[in-house]
Structure 1
Amino acid sequence: MSARENALNRNIETESQNRLTQSTLVNNAIPVISIADEGEDCSRKTLQTSGSLVRHITQPKSYAAMVGEKKNSRMKLSFIPLEIVDGKLVVKYQSSDVMIGINRWKSTTFGYVLGINPSFGAIENFARNRWNVFGFEKYFKLSLRVFLFKFESDEGRDAMLDEGMWIFAQYPMIVSSWTPESNLERRGVEKILVWVKIPFLSLQFWNDEMLSKIGSYIGNNFFVDGAT
């Protein structure tokens, strides 16, 4: 065999070994999917062997797929044909339809803060810090100034309301229990229920008659707190 043929055979053997090594590297590659935070794209996969990066495979999500994911969490509606009465479209419903909404919101209160318009986060922190013991569940911002506070039960909601006046950042907070007849608009307040503290009141005045007379100097009396 000539020297030229020997060199050619060695080149072929070396090339075959290189191909075998590359094939083994790819076949032994381990797919690794890193855990992403909620909302991140988890479609990116990395192939690697013993610390050696091979390549990246990115599978971008289509716009339709991303929009579809958001729609899945929304309330699904359907088209219901309306009736025509005297030439006008009329929406008819049953009492059972309304009861679905009443049962959903029956343990809810609504309210606002007099004097300021607090941010969404500030009100939510206030509610969670003070009302979790009453079973506070969720908070909604109904408008710029009016908020909804949903509780786990009617008992928890009523216990929160029975605590009396709530103060947010030194401003009175008007909170009421929701009913189907409730007006959820913020209205001008002419009267407000407040707790009155009378420091160092002598014990001989701690009776219904005297406390009623002293309280009448300020306004209408209702009741005293549990400690009194």
Structure 2
Amino acid sequence: MEEKENIKVAKLQLGKFIAKDGITVKLHEQNEKENADKLSNSIVIKVFGGDPPLRIISSELRRQWMQYGKFHLTMVGMGWVLCSFYEPDHMEAMMTNGPWFVNGKIIGMDKWSQNFSTNSLKGLTVPVWIRLPNLPLQCWDNINLYRVASMVGKLYLIDGSMFQWGRREFGRVCVQIQQDNKLPLGVLAEGKAGRFYQRIEYERVLNFCFKCGLIGHNCEDCK
């Protein structure tokens, strides 16, 4: 990477930036807004169960995300990576697919916001396809699927192919789950035929602990 000249600060128009208490620094609001606008198509990601270098993360994600257009990756500290897309549609398409992995470890993600902090996992989510095996046939419609799946996470997509005759082995939907929330192995539902337990299966979630219900480690590593 080419080295750039150092920036001389002598001519910067700083203005008054110390608050009345004499100890608080006031940020430049217009610059804050402009910087936030530049990050409007960005997400923050974190690999769980590992701390791979940026070159590995970049190689793995570029291989998986090449269909979603160009993007730029930057390390921002504490194992977090900022991923900036050139087009908002590409970012949305990537976030509604998945889950995504680096070295076999699942990654959590969230849209960048001004509340983002490298010291917190709050808001971090993972797009996961779930299956509802042996779902009663009277429940095979968009509304009832949504109601059952909503107990797992925020519903994003419903697999349209499952409504075809001959493909009713299981319901299949994509949900956005909170990284630090316990994942249920089943959901209680109630209809005209009475109450029943609907089992939940998670596709491609490798490091999922069935003891505590959290993503990021296996049962043998559960603390």
Match of 1:168, as an amino acid? Answer: V
Distance of 2:109 and 2:124 partners within structure 1: 15
Judge conservation of contact 2:139–2:145 (CA < 8 Å) in 1: yes
CA shift for structure 1 position 188:
7.3
Q: For each residue in 1:166-209, what CA deviation from the matched residue of structure 2 results, as whole angstroms up to 9, or x when unmatched?
A: 23333321111112222333437998663213467686653346
% identity of equivalent residues: 18
Structure 1, 185-194 or 170-179: larger mean CA deviation: 185-194
For the pair shown, which has the larger CA radius of gyration, 1 or 2? Answer: 1
The answer to whether the 8 A contact 1:110-1:149 is kept is yes
- Closer, same or farther: CA 209–139 of 1 in aligned 2, 3 Å: closer
Amino acid at match of 1:71: K
> Which ranges of structure 1 fall in alignment gaps of 5 or more residues?
1-38, 40-68
Partner of 1:98: 32
Gaps of 5+ in 2: 163-223
Number of paired residues? 158
Q: How far apart, in 1, do the equivalents of 2:136 and 2:71 lie?
A: 43
Q: Does 1:226 align with 2:159?
A: yes
Which structure features the higher share of strand residues? 2
Rounded to whole Å, the distance in 1 between the matches of 2:147 and 2:27 is 53
Cα offset, 1:106, TM superposition: 1.8
Instruction: Specify which structure has the bigger relative contact order, considering alpha-carbon pairs within 8 angstroms and separated by 6 or more residues.
Output: 2
Identify the match of residue 142 of structure 1 among 69, 72, 76.
76
Query: What are the residue-to-residue correspondences of 1:50-199 with 2, within 5 Å?
Result: 70-72=3-5, 76-79=7-10, 80=12, 83=16, 88=22, 91-187=25-121, 194-198=128-132
| Distance verdict in 2 for CA 1:70–1:162, change over 3 Å | same
Q: Find the aligned partners of 1:165 and 1:91 in 2 and give their Cα distance.
A: 41
Amino acid in the other structure paired with 2:9 = S
Q: TM-score, normalised by structure 1?
A: 0.53
CA contact under 8 A between 1:212 and 1:221: conserved in structure 2?
no
Distance 2:21 2:155 in 1: 54
Task: Give the TM-score normalised by the residue count of structure 2.
Answer: 0.54
Q: Verify the 8 A CA contact 1:110 1:178 in the aligned structure 2.
A: yes
Task: Quote the Cα distance in structure 1 between the aligned partners of 2:122 and 2:23.
Answer: 36
Higher helix share: 1
DSSP-derived class of the 1:70 partner: coil
